[in-house]
Amino acid sequence: MANKSNQSWLDRHLNDAYVKQSQKDGYRSRAAYKLLEIHKKDKIFRPGIRVVDLGAAPGSWSQIAVREVGRKGEVIAVDLLPMQPIDGVRILQGDFLDETLQAELAAINKGQPLDLVISDLAPNITGDKSVDQPRVIGLVEAVLLFSKEHLKAGGSMLVKIFQGDGFDLYVKEVRQSFERVVIRKPDASRSESREVYVLARNYKL
């Protein structure tokens, strides 16, 4: 049964229009188009800003970020997994909540706060919502904590979350720290997926 399910996923993946387009456009994954859609609508990037991409591997979001911020900007990609280099992107391997990694991040930015934190992080999915959803909420809480510690006043956060238990409470918590919070469901996000993106603007330092 598992083999049939895996084969079905593989067939769908290989026939996915966004997967095919990402191969043509040189993006490392179809997730690039989710970020592109959000940026087109909400203009989250600007030339010269400092951006940290959490859970960045394989790197499609960092590819977009570094192009949009330009040479005067800064993009730092963080992931537990190793990543192939991306021109103009600083890559840090490790846990983004680890004090050593955060010290390295601060050194790179010379103590300057961030303009934008983006995260397409997701836990390893078991298929059991009672296990998966708490893991999701734990991750997005960690991203929020990181953002509150490193964003400048007026900064922004974009984080992937899955709808379910804890979703409404998380959005309410985000609203306490940011002046404007919206939920986005890009067309590139599969319709059957519970994933959405919380975009929080104007951090109230």
d(C-alpha 181, C-alpha 42), whole Å: 12
User: Does residue 185 carry a catalytic annotation?
Assistant: no
d(C-alpha 116, C-alpha 47), whole Å: 12
Q: Residues 6 or more apart from 80 whose CB is under 8 A from it?
A: 93, 94, 95
d(C-alpha 116, C-alpha 83), whole Å: 21
Token pair in block for residue 46:
């600007």
Amino acid at residue number 34:
K
3-state class percentages of the chain: helix first, strand second, coil last, to nearest 5? 40, 25, 35
Catalytic residue among 20, 110, 160, 204: 160
Residues annotated as catalytic are 160
